[in-house]
Amino acid sequence: MRTRPTLTWEPPSGEVFARTTSLDAMVDLVAGRGVVVLSGAGLSTESGIPDYRGKSGALRRHTPMTYEDFAGSAQARQRYWARSHLGWRAMAGAQPNVGHRAVAALRASGHVDGVITQNVDGLHQAAGTLPEVVDLHGSLDRVICLTCGVFSERTELERRLNEANPVFDGVAARINPDGDVELAEDAVRRFRSVDCDSCGEGVLKPDVVFFGENVPKARVERCKELVDGAAALLVLGSSLTVMSGLRFVRRAAEAGKPVVIVNQGLTRGDRYASERIEAPLGAALVELVGRVGAAADLG
């Protein structure tokens, strides 16, 4: 069963928890080691990829594709692929920022045991955070056929889309966290999508979890294992609006594990946090690496 997507969230009246700009709680948490990181779109904004719900978040002007729309409408799929085709160029060209590199340094030094990311941009891996990055919502660099189940590389799909649209002249107005862009409807109507190259007729979908779609059970179980084995949870740049990420914050808190949230703005998980820090992530993580002695060149 697929659930109704949660796109926005407002705190209950009067429920606002104190926040601080001090990084001491985050430093103490990570210095103790055994930390699992849960990262969100706020970590990738310094790489040029906007978040959904910040001050300039994409949800203020963009409604993400839902699974129901994508699976049920050929027009919706044409619109998605036309816009995502342009968006992929920007996503593929995005580079890890200093925050991603700091997380990689903390993983290499043994302070961080694993990373669960809600992002689909692959920037943790590009920064060298290996092993143990779980792409909770999948990754844009793979494609799956909804008919035959075969996976393929996004680069191969882009080659086929370029061949099918040799004179496509759409211009992206803005990229969104899901790789979608703003694109004029007349450009969308001129775009030709392609079917699965394996079975010849299947519907192709990026290997990401759309709004209203469930995260694969095996992936959820792996995340639970990471959280259960962790000493603490550090949330970086997520509003925790969607349950797919919030449930791990709840799980850690219910197990009596400290949860520190670093985010610019309120989050749906604030009630579960032992500390809530308001700070720009890049600078905060650089300071964190220095203070816990995780030597790394973050330039």
Residue 275 sits at φ, ψ, to 5 deg, of -150, 140
Three-state DSSP class for residue 46: helix
Token readout for 278 is 């308001």
Beta strands in 16-103 (DSSP E): 35-39
The amino acid occupying position 199 is C
Q: Is 85 a catalytic residue?
A: no
Do residues 202 and 146 touch, judged by C-beta distance below 8 A?
yes
Three-state DSSP class for residue 97: coil
Closest CA to 136 of 52, 251, 262, 244: 244
DSSP letter at 143?
E
Residue 265 CA to residue 241 CA, distance in Å, equals 12
> CB within 8 A of 147, min separation 6: which ones?
196, 199, 201, 202, 203
Count the Cβ atoms, other than its own, within 10 Å of residue 24. Answer: 11
Count the Cβ atoms, other than its own, within 10 Å of residue 253. Answer: 17
Do you know the residue count of the chain? 299
Per DSSP, what are the bridge partners of residue 114? 36
Q: Convert 37-66 to b/e letters by CB count within 10 Å (16 or more is b).
A: bbbbbbbbbbbebbbbbbeebbbeebebbb
Torsion angle of alpha carbons 201, 206, 210, 213, nearest 10°? 60
Q: Which residues are catalytic?
A: 137
